[in-house]
Structure 1
């Protein structure tokens, strides 16, 4: 399996291709929602530093540049939100096809899903369904990667 190299990325949803992963209002409080939002290059809350924990297993962590906090989860059940947190949280990347990934929780089979194409829609955890493109993500490197 191939995973992106460590570095800074904008993470876009495949189905809703104008929306990317956004730490809502760059809120540094634990529990702040991570949402889909149209890309805005003037803000860092849409930039994520990908840290590789174990390349062979596809284990990674995401650190938001604006808040300097991790992407995490509010729980590990269907419908739980993806949040900003001070707690190091590890996820597993599964390459669906070249350049498209599912982002799975480390302790379950649940994956990130963007339920609709509206700004401020919270990214949630859902059981993986291979043909749901709202569960697939593309990593676009920021200059310098």
Structure 2
């Protein structure tokens, strides 16, 4: 699966190396970074499209992100789809977590799951939170989960 920048430019290096270079470049420029990883999905006919983002926040100076999309014909219940989103985010977070530790970059995993029980996505909240926290990652759900509910959401809609 190909990663790209927000402007559409493909990332040719392995994502871990590109993230390392971004951390080194941004910290050398004097920025304190925080990284938020999230995934959102959209069902379009028979297809389900997933977008995973790695959002780099420069404290007080905006940010940028890397994006990965994938389409599948697999049919999911709402709870299954929410948990697939979370597993995609955790997969990337796990791949990159040693970099964040090495360079002392705070990282959160964002789940596009509503904390309000009136919403269907709430069915997956307990499992998603347990999965993310159980992996040792900081967890955010809606309305604080902007990486998944705003950034990734813009990519799949």
TM-score by length of 1: 0.30
